[in-house]
Amino acid sequence: MIQNRKKAPGIVDAVDMKLQLKPYEHFTLDNQVPVYTVDAGSQEVLMLEWVFYAGNWYEKKNIVAATTNFLLKNGTSQKNAFSINEHFEFYGAYLNRSCYNETATVTLHCLSKHLPELLPVVAELITESIFPEEELAIYKQNQKQRLQVNLKKCDFVASRLIDEYLYGLHHPYGKYTSTLEYDQLEKVELVHYFEQFYVHGRCMVFAAGKLPGDIALQLNNAFGHLPLNAAALPVIDYPQQPAGTKKYRITNDAAGVQGAIRIARPFPNRHHPDFQRVAVLNNIFGGFFGSRLMSNIREDKGYTYGIHSYLQNHIHNTAWMISTEAGRDVCEATITEVYKEMEVLRTEPVEEEELDLVRNYMIGSLLGDLDGPFQIIARWKNYILNGLTEDYFYNSIQTIRTLSAEELLALAEKYLQPEDFYELVVV
């Protein structure tokens, strides 16, 4: 058979495909801790996540929140760090913790059959952690060393600085760590933070995977009696204090062969009517491999291994960011091209062919993102933490399907003005 290889096979437009966000199940424990579950998957595995409002938003002193979160695994009144690790690792389970801006989490991945052995120990960690001096000392020493190495990297330095310019050093989104602050950390601060934001904190639980039939009972037995979700969270408002100067050139390593480029502007959060619309514009601009920035700056000019633009994932105010590492001698040329692409988006309507492609790509990619229980619960978690409902999901699909070239032009005119952007190169 002779194929006509020049002709593409017919496709079903992804925009016409039916997308559904599998709903979560919901129940509350005796102490009113809400639990959201997605029961699906073929392997006998599950993921459980405890989300506490214990991020750096609530700390009075820098790195207290992150350190408290990190050291949850390093000693309770009954077990030392080694025994805790050994317990989870013996059952082939992974217990991770992460500290974000508003929230801090404890995440368990395990085979479903081992859950009964693991839940009581998670409960122990969030009620009986003692933050031993010795563990804190090791943590400080190792974190300071890690920081020292990271400060040699232009991308690390650039990411810290651009956030500082956007939000100010006193804002949770803009602050960063220093050796001095590690030295000044004290055990008693961690103990207090733990008491207020974990033991008596506000918590919600997300579960996904092949869940045991008695998951509600298991969770209630282990967590339902804890003194959670009783006290009110402090309400703290941080003013955003953006820098006065917009353009920065910094030499971090005189011998560096690349520069880290960050170009960013403040942007409202997901509740703003333009957010989902700009998400489409962002895709065209620098949001995927076929984007304008990637096609021009990587695929045509070869200035970089990769260039991306994205809306930062923040609950309060956020930012629109362009990020790349480029050859030292082509950094300025790269920046020029970024502004050129902004100009094109402001002045020339996106052709229907390109817009179709982006619509299909975004919907197809959404379809792929919803494949599997962990992905589905992650989306739900994001919506719940941002105060959004499933309407947001269906609205965003509608936006992808219908946003017009004229609307994109207007959005570019509104948001892609070079003078609104901070611009930074760290070599």
290 binds another protein (CB under 8 A): yes
Q: How far is the CB of 224 from another protein (least distance, A)?
A: 27
First to last CA, the chain: 57
Binds another protein by CB under 8 A, chosen from 30, 89, 133, 413: 89
Distance CA 106, CA 276 (A): 30
355 binds another protein (CB under 8 A): no
* Residue with token string 């971090």: 252
229 vs 258, which CB is nearer to another protein? Answer: 258
Phi and psi torsions of 399, nearest 5°:
-60, -45
Among the listed residues 23, 19, 45, the one whose alpha carbon sits nearest the alpha carbon of residue 36 = 23
180 binds another protein (CB under 8 A): no
Binding span for another protein by CB under 8 A among 52-60, 81-89, 217-225, 227-235: 81-89
Binding span for another protein by CB under 8 A among 193-201, 256-264, 312-320, 381-389: 256-264
Q: How far is the CB of 20 from another protein (least distance, A)?
A: 10
Binds another protein by CB under 8 A, chosen from 34, 212, 268, 372: 372
Distance CA 363, CA 374 (A): 19
Binding span for another protein by CB under 8 A among 143-151, 216-224, 263-271, 339-347: 143-151
CB neighbours of 282 closer than 8 A, spacing ≥ 6?
309, 310, 311, 320
Q: Burial, 81: exposed, middle or buried (Cβ in 10 Å; 0-12, 13-18, 19+)?
A: middle
300 vs 413, which CB is nearer to another protein? Answer: 300
Dihedral of CA 295/299/304/308: which sign? Answer: positive
Binds another protein by CB under 8 A, chosen from 101, 258, 282, 323: 258
Amino acid letter for position 140: K
51 vs 366, which CB is nearer to another protein? Answer: 366
- For another protein, the binding residues in 304-333 under the rule CB under 8 A are 304-305, 325-327
Binds another protein by CB under 8 A, chosen from 25, 356, 406, 413: 356
Binding span for another protein by CB under 8 A among 8-16, 171-179, 240-248, 406-414: 8-16
Give yes or no for a contact between 205 and 218, defined as CB atoms under 8 angstroms apart: no
86 sits in which H/E element: helix 81-90
Q: How far is the CB of 354 from another protein (least distance, A)?
A: 9
Binds another protein by CB under 8 A, chosen from 91, 176, 248, 275: 91
91 vs 248, which CB is nearer to another protein? Answer: 91
- CA 11 to chain CA centroid, Å, is 33
How many residues of this chain bind another protein (CB under 8 A)? 73
Binds another protein by CB under 8 A, chosen from 78, 96, 142, 402: 142
Among the listed residues 322, 327, 321, 270, the one whose alpha carbon sits nearest the alpha carbon of residue 302 = 327
Q: How far is the CB of 353 from another protein (least distance, A)?
A: 9
- For another protein, the binding residues in 18-57 under the rule CB under 8 A are 41-45
Q: Centre a 10 Å sphere on the Cβ of residue 145 and count the other Cβ atoms it contains.
A: 11
Distance CA 399, CA 384 (A): 21
